[in-house]
Structures are given as C-alpha cells and as structure tokens.
Structure 1
Amino acid sequence: MKQGLGTQLRHLIELLDGAVEAAYVEADLPEYRPRFTPVMRVLSTRQQVTIGEIAEVAGITQPAATQTVALMHKKGLLLIEPGPQDGRQRIVSLSEKGSALLPRVQACWRATRMAADSLDAELDMPLSQCLAQAIEVLGQRPFGERIRSARADSQKGDYV
C-alpha cells in the first residue's frame, strides 16, 4: 500500500529530527531541541527581539514562536522582559547560558548543513529545492483550498 503524503512527511521528519536531536546529545547538548533552532538563529544575529520579530524572521507562526520561547526560557536559555512602551510586548534575548551554548550549537548547525548537502547530492531533485518549491506553490494556492476543490470535484463525479 502506498503511503499518503502526510504519513511520508511525518516519517521524513522523524528520520531527520531524530538524527539531529541525537547529534545534539552526542555534542553534549542534551537539553537543546531542534525546535529551538529558528529562535537561536534569530538571536545569533540580533541581541534583542520581540516574539513577533522571531516569528517573522524565522518563518514560523507566532504561536510556535511563543511556545518555543517559553520552553527555552524555562530551560534558562533566554531572558524575557516586558517591552519599554508596551508591557504586553515581550523582549527576548539570550541568557548567559544560551550565549555560552551558541558556539557549540552553531558547530552542530554546520555539520547538519553538510549532511543535508550530502543528502541533496544523492537525490534526483534536491530535497531542499523540492521543499522550497512546495512551500512557494502552497503559498499561491493553499492545501486547504486544494482539498476543498478536490472534495467538490469528487462530489460532482469528476474525480475517479
């Protein structure tokens, strides 16, 4: 039986994220999670940012950024302060612990990038290129819209 797209994507993420998480453990970074990377990448280039800026620059949703920042704060990697003009706004920066981890995390990122490049080299179409294209196409016509269209077509008998 052919696996569906969602099943294939989940399996691919398990294969990739599992290996990346294991690499962090092997690098003696057992508390670091792959989901921290978008936040750490933003904070590696900017000293202080809002959660909204993290989401925008990292290309993740604001709820995902909020949850990740909260988890990283709980682990002592980040400092969170109220905004100077608006107390509801949160200003995020690396803590001493987060700053100390950054060079080791960046070394893991370089190794992961090299591994991803080697994977891309072995594929007919580089995975990174395929994913970028899929994201771009879905930005033009979201998957939900495609599902609704397919459902309508199948109800008309146009889809066999």
Structure 2
Amino acid sequence: MKPGLGTQLRHLIDLLDGAVGDAYDAAGLDYRPRYTPVMRALASGKALTISQIAEQSHITQPAATQTVNLMLKADLVQTETSALDARQKLVRLSDHGKEMLPRLKRCWAATKAAADSLDADMSHPLSEALAEAIAALEQRPFGERIRAAAKNKEDT
C-alpha cells in the first residue's frame, strides 16, 4: 500500500532536514534548519515584529513565535519592546547570530545547489511541484477539500 500524502511529506522533510542539519554540524554550527526562515528575514539587520517575520518567512505566526523563542535560548536573536507599540516585541539578530551569518550563507548556497541538483534529477522538479501545490491550496484549502470529500462520501 502506498503511504499517504502526509506520511510522504513527513518522510521527505526528515530526509531533507536531516541532511541539512548534518551540513550545519559539519560546518561547526550549532544551528537547526527550522531557524533559517527567521534568520533570512532578519539578515538585513532590521528589527522585525513576529508578524513581519511570519509574513516574510511564509510561516505561521505560532511557528514564528516558537522558532524565535528557540533562537532566543540559542542566543541567535534578541528582543526589545517596540517604541511605537509597547505590546509588540521587536526581534533582531544578536551579536552571535550576526557572527554566524557569513558561514550560514555559505551553507545556504550549498543547500540551494543541492536542491537544484535534486530538481535536475527529477522528471518534474520538486520545487515546481511544491510551488504548484501551494498555489492550488491557497486557491482551495485542504480543509475545504477534506470537507467536500467527506460530504461526497455521505451522499453516495
């Protein structure tokens, strides 16, 4: 029996993240792949709110919050209260995070080259398939598709 979509996606993420994590270890970096979207958003040096990080990183706000909290513990980022709105927290790279950035950028370039290599080995590039799937789900969310499928099962 063929594994379900969720199982396949989890396995794919495990294969990708495991190799990327190993590359960071080999580069002598104490760094997790899940930090990358946040690090990229903050790499400009500008302080951002959690909402801005989530938007720029294409991740959910709860995921951005969780990742920033982990990065605070790893001393990669620091936070401060916004001068414009005391309810908002601004996040920026810590000195340690800034120091890691050049080595991270080299790792990101190698990861991009490896992803391009994977795309070249496939009959339909994975990056294109993922972009197509994301676009389709933004047009019609998966939850809506599940409800429609369940309703169709009830009607038959």
TM value normalised by structure 1: 0.95
Q: Which amino acid aligns with 1:67?
A: Q
Is 1:45 paired with 2:48?
Answer: no
Identity of aligned residues (%): 58
Q: Secondary structure at the match of 1:66?
A: helix
Give the Å deviation of 1:156: 1.2
One-letter amino acid of the structure 2 residue matched with residue 52 of structure 1: S
Look up the match of 1:16: 16
Structure 2: tracts of 5 or more residues without a match: none
SS state at 1:71 partner: helix
Quote how far apart the aligned CAs of 1:142 are: 0.4
2 CA distance for matches of 1:148 and 1:47?
42
SS at match of 1:93: strand
* 1:76-115 to 2 correspondences below 5 Å: 76-115=75-114
Structure 1: state its 5+ residue gaps. none
Structure 1 vs Structure 2 CA RMSD: 0.8
- Output one character per residue of 1:97-145: Cα deviation in whole Å (capped at 9) or x when no partner: 0000000011000000000000000101100000000000000000010
Amino acid at match of 1:7: T
Query: Which runs of 4 or more aligned residues in structure 1 lie more than 2 Å from their structure 2 counterparts after TM superposition?
Result: none
Match of 1:129 in 2: 128
Amino acid in the other structure paired with 2:8 = Q
**Do structure 1's residue 2 and structure 2's residue 2 form an aligned pair?**
yes
Give the count of matched residue pairs.
Answer: 156
- Partner letter of residue 61 of structure 1? T
Q: Secondary structure at the match of 1:63?
A: helix
The CA distance in 1 between the partners of 2:5 and 2:92, in whole Å, is 38
**Distance in structure 1 (CA, Å) of the matches to 2:59 and 2:4:** 25
Provide the TM-score with structure 2 as the length reference.
Answer: 0.98
Alignment match, 1:142: 141
SS in 2 for 1:80: strand
Structure 1 residue 90: deviation in Å?
A: 0.6
Q: Secondary structure at the match of 1:112?
A: helix
